[in-house]
Amino acid sequence: MSHRRISKKRVTMAGGAVVALAIAGVTLQNANASEEKPQFKLKTLSAPAAGTLASTLNGNLGESAAGWYYEAGTKALVMNVVDESAAETVRRAGGKARVVQNSTAELKSARQTLADRATVPGTSWAVDPVTNKVVVTADRTVTGDAWDKLSGVVETLGGKAELKKSAGEFKTFVSGGDPILGGNARCSLGFNVVKDGAPHFLTAGHCTESIQTWSDAQGARIGTTVASTFPVSDFGLVAYDDAATDAPSEVNLYDGSSQPITQAGEAVVGQQVVRSGSTTEVSDGQVTGLDATVNYGNGDIVNGLIQTTVCAEPGDSGGSLFAGDTALGLTSGGSGDCTSGGETFFQPVTTALAAVGAEIGAGSGAGEGAGAGDAAGDQAGDGAGDAAGDQAGDQAGDAVGDQAGDDAGDQAGDEAGNANGNGNGYGHRSGSRSH
């Protein structure tokens, strides 16, 4: 047997090579670690707080932002962007980032093309941030040449739009229910509001368009139309004939209870919402689109609507759309019913309030406590820095990353809630049959 001798020099060199590889390995690991993207904490947010954060990010990102929505399952803001640099900005702020193909400007241009070339009765369109496209929906009346025209325009938009078919028919929900009656029309009360210190209520504009006087379900006169807008928008304002009418800021839940309404807010795509109406009472669903355009036919085209999966039927028109204590919209119209489902569109309540110069959840008719609660709510929102109203000072403060302070937000929010609680519980209610 022969033994191979390895010189000490070679052993030393081999050992040195092992050490060199080990050092190189450490160096390589460190290099890879330095190249990894930093990890950012995803914030848990309410829908209003997500909206506040999105608004701030939109301002910071400019043209790089491409829409956003609320992910209810994870309670997170999902922000669409067109480049990785913007995505990192979103992650740093605590949101989820999605790099998408279509920019906001491109989707806006697609909407304009549809408005210019595809004005077909029985259609709607809205930007869907989940698919990053303009979703065009045609109801069952769109057939033949109208369908060919619509589908042809959508096809020219390529990946910026998609076409869907609805089994129902887009219509306003005017007749067939109570509690507010005018002539042969029956609609639903939306929200009690205050204008110039006097009690009023909001309902759908297609209800108030041709009706001046309103009665309750028992035929007793309750109010007079003082403002009405339809089409383009869909809201009307009715003044209570008796200035001493108790008109609390709340919505009927049709189970013997009511939901206090302390503020108005903007709807958020992905948000869970509830509708109250006199025909189908209470239904819930999800917001699927904003700034929707709906063509009800006969030249009645309404813009800027909230699109949802909530069901509704005739007589629910004008009824309340809300989330918690926040008023969101007034029932406009849609397709389907509460048996087969369908789409329902709502007039944003913030637009209606601004147009008629009214306030929600404050002033006379709802009681002095409600007015105090509103003021306290505003203070709470300001103290939190980015709160969406007075509802979630704590979460909204986190949303925009400022340091408003948990204690200040909680204390002001409690004061708002306590003050609001003193002004509710009696009289004419939103979406109510008790007039």
Q: Span 86-100, mean pLDDT? A: 98
pLDDT at 39 (0 to 100): 80
Q: Span 21-50, mean pLDDT? A: 65
Active site residue 7: no
Over residues 158-177, the pLDDT tens digits come to 999 999 999 999 998 754 32
Q: Span 66-75, mean pLDDT? A: 96
Q: Percent of the chain beyond pLDDT 90?
A: 67
Can you read off the two tokens belonging to residue 310? 């909530």
Could you tell me the CA-to-CA distances from 306 to 32, 143, 159, 227, 432 in Å, in that order?
47, 26, 23, 21, 22
φ/ψ of residue 89, rounded to 5: -60, -40
Closest C-alpha among 376, 349, 355, 357 to residue 196: 357
Which residue in the list 317, 335, 430, 432 is annotated as catalytic? Answer: 317
pLDDT band at 263 (very low <50, low <70, confident <90, very high): very high
Strands 96-99 and 123-128: unpaired
Can you read off the two tokens belonging to residue 269? 């795509």
pLDDT at 292 over 60: yes
Mean of per-residue pLDDT scores for the chain: 81
pLDDT at 38 (0 to 100): 65
Which residue in the list 46, 128, 139, 206 is annotated as catalytic? Answer: 206
Q: Span 55-74, mean pLDDT? A: 96
Over residues 190-240, the pLDDT tens digits come to 999 999 999 999 999 999 998 999 998 888 899 999 999 999 999 999 999
- Which uninterrupted H or E stretch holds 301? strand 301-308
Closest C-alpha among 341, 294, 334 to residue 314: 334
pLDDT at 376 (0 to 100): 38
Active site residue 241: no
Lowest-confidence region among 183-192, 310-319, 422-431: 422-431
- Which uninterrupted H or E stretch holds 187? strand 185-187
Cβ proximity of 98 and 120 under 8 Å:
no
Angstrom distance (rounded) from CA 242 to CA 328: 27
pLDDT at 428 (0 to 100): 52
Q: Percent of the chain beyond pLDDT 70?
A: 73
Angstrom distance (rounded) from CA 318 to CA 9: 93
pLDDT at 410 over 70: no
Which range in 8-17, 139-148, 217-226 is most confidently predicted, on average pLDDT? 139-148
Angstrom distance (rounded) from CA 234 to CA 214: 18
pLDDT at 112 (0 to 100): 97
pLDDT at 289 (0 to 100): 97
One-letter amino acid identity for 222? I
pLDDT at 173 (0 to 100): 77
Which residue in the list 139, 178, 234, 390 is annotated as catalytic? Answer: 234
pLDDT at 7 (0 to 100): 45
Active site residue 428: no
Lowest-confidence region among 199-213, 292-306, 364-378: 364-378
Angstrom distance (rounded) from CA 384 to CA 408: 7
- Judged by phi (left if over 0) then psi (alpha if -120 to 50, else beta), residue 275 lies in beta
What's the per-residue H, E or C state across 154-170? Answer: HHHCHHHEEEEECCCCC
Q: Span 340-354, mean pLDDT? A: 95
